[in-house]
Structure 1
Amino acid sequence: MNKYVTKFFYGGVNERNAGPKAKDDVNFFLNELGFKNVDIHLENSKLTKLFKTDNILKKQIDLNDNGIFVLQYPLNSHLISNRILKLIVENKKFISIALIHDLNSLRNMEVDENLISKEINYLNHFDYLIVHNIAMKNWLIKMGFTSEMIILNLFDYRSSELNLNNKYDCDIVYAGNLIKAEFLKNIELTNNKLNIYGSNELKTYPRNVFYKGSLNPDELPQHLNSRFGLVWDGDSVYECSGVYGHYLEYNTPHKISLYLSAGIPVIVWKKSAMAEYIVNNKLGISVDSLDNIENILNSISDEEYSSLKRNALSISEKLRSGYFIHQAISKILSGNEDFN
Structure 2
Amino acid sequence: MKKWVTATQHGMGANAIQKVNADVVSIAESLGYQALPITRYDATSEAPELMRVRIQGLITAVQPGDLVVCLHPILNGFIFDVSLVSALKERGAKVVINVFDTEKLRYPKDLGESYDQIGKEHALFNQADYLIVHNEAMEAGLREVGVTVPMLKRGPFDYLMPAEEAKLSDNLERKLTFVGSFDKSPFLKTWAYQTPLSAFGSRQTAEGEYPLGPNVDYLGMANFLQDMPRDAFGIFWDEGFNYQVYSQYTSPHKVALYMATGLPVIVWDGAGIAPFIKREGLGYTVKSLDEIDGLLASITDEELRALKERTNYFSYFIRDGAFTRRVLSELEGRLAIK
TM-score (norm 2): 0.88
Q: Deviations over 1:121-162 (max 9, x none)?
A: 111000000001101101111211111100011111012322
Partner of 1:238: none
Partner of 2:27: 29
How far residue 65 of structure 1 moved from its aligned partner, in angstroms, is 4.2
Match of residue 219, structure 2, among 212, 221, 224: 212
3-state SS in 1 of match to 2:94: strand
Q: Give RMSD over aligned pairs.
A: 2.3
State whether residues 124 and 145 of structure 1, in contact with CA within 8 Å, keep that contact through their aligned partners in structure 2: yes
Match of residue 123, structure 2, among 121, 136, 140: 121
Partner of 1:78: 78
How far residue 332 of structure 1 moved from its aligned partner, in angstroms, is 1.3
> Greater share of helix residues, 1 or 2?
2
State whether residues 199 and 220 of structure 2, in contact with CA within 8 Å, keep that contact through their aligned partners in structure 1: yes
3-state SS in 1 of match to 2:151: strand
How far residue 196 of structure 1 moved from its aligned partner, in angstroms, is 0.6
Q: Distance in 2 between matches of 1:68 and 1:256?
A: 30
Match of residue 187, structure 2, among 175, 183, 192: 183
Q: How does 1:291-310 map to 2 (within 5 A)?
A: 291-310=290-309
State whether residues 172 and 304 of structure 2, in contact with CA within 8 Å, keep that contact through their aligned partners in structure 1: no
3-state SS in 2 of match to 1:106: helix
Ranges in structure 2 where 5+ consecutive residues have no aligned partner: none
Partner of 2:168: 164
Q: How does 1:173-252 map to 2 (within 5 A)?
A: 173-190=177-194, 192-200=195-203, 202-215=209-222, 220=225, 223-234=228-239, 241-252=240-251
Q: Deviations over 1:135-190 (max 9, x none)?
A: 11011112111111000111110123221334568710000011212111112233
Given the superposition, is the C-alpha separation of residues 66 and 58 from structure 1 closer, same or farther in structure 2, using an over 3 Å criterion? farther
Q: Which amino acid aligns with 2:78?
A: H
How far residue 87 of structure 1 moved from its aligned partner, in angstroms, is 1.6
State whether residues 173 and 226 of structure 1, in contact with CA within 8 Å, keep that contact through their aligned partners in structure 2: no
State whether residues 159 and 321 of structure 2, in contact with CA within 8 Å, keep that contact through their aligned partners in structure 1: yes
Q: Distance in 2 between matches of 1:272 and 1:64?
A: 40
Q: How does 1:248-259 map to 2 (within 5 A)?
A: 248-259=247-258
3-state SS in 1 of match to 2:250: coil
How far residue 203 of structure 1 moved from its aligned partner, in angstroms, is 4.1
Q: Distance in 2 between matches of 1:289 and 1:28?
A: 38
Q: Which amino acid aligns with 1:43?
A: Y
Given the superposition, is the C-alpha separation of residues 308 and 50 from structure 1 closer, same or farther in structure 2, using an over 3 Å criterion? farther
Using the aligned pairs only, state the percent identity: 29
Q: Distance in 2 between matches of 1:297 and 1:119?
A: 42
Q: Deviations over 1:220-254 (max 9, x none)?
A: 166332320000112xxxxxx54111111111111
3-state SS in 2 of match to 1:37: strand
Number of residue equivalences: 327
3-state SS in 2 of match to 1:272: coil
Q: Distance in 1 between matches of 2:136 and 2:6?
A: 25
Q: Which amino acid aligns with 1:200?
A: R
How far residue 82 of structure 1 moved from its aligned partner, in angstroms, is 2.8
State whether residues 135 and 249 of structure 1, in contact with CA within 8 Å, keep that contact through their aligned partners in structure 2: yes
Given the superposition, is the C-alpha separation of residues 64 and 272 from structure 1 closer, same or farther in structure 2, using an over 3 Å criterion? closer
How far residue 66 of structure 1 moved from its aligned partner, in angstroms, is 2.5
Partner of 2:8: 8
3-state SS in 1 of match to 2:104: coil
How far residue 199 of structure 1 moved from its aligned partner, in angstroms, is 1.8
Ranges in structure 1 where 5+ consecutive residues have no aligned partner: 235-240
How far residue 294 of structure 1 moved from its aligned partner, in angstroms, is 1.4
Q: Distance in 2 between matches of 1:135 and 1:294?
A: 29
Deviates more, 1:286-295 or 1:60-69: 60-69
How far residue 275 of structure 1 moved from its aligned partner, in angstroms, is 1.3
State whether residues 25 and 157 of structure 1, in contact with CA within 8 Å, keep that contact through their aligned partners in structure 2: yes
Partner of 1:51: 50
How far residue 60 of structure 1 moved from its aligned partner, in angstroms, is 4.8
State whether residues 177 and 228 of structure 2, in contact with CA within 8 Å, keep that contact through their aligned partners in structure 1: no
How far residue 79 of structure 1 moved from its aligned partner, in angstroms, is 3.6
State whether residues 173 and 230 of structure 1, in contact with CA within 8 Å, keep that contact through their aligned partners in structure 2: yes
Q: Deviations over 1:279-327 (max 9, x none)?
A: 1110110011112321111111122222322221222111111111111
Q: Which amino acid aligns with 1:120?
A: H
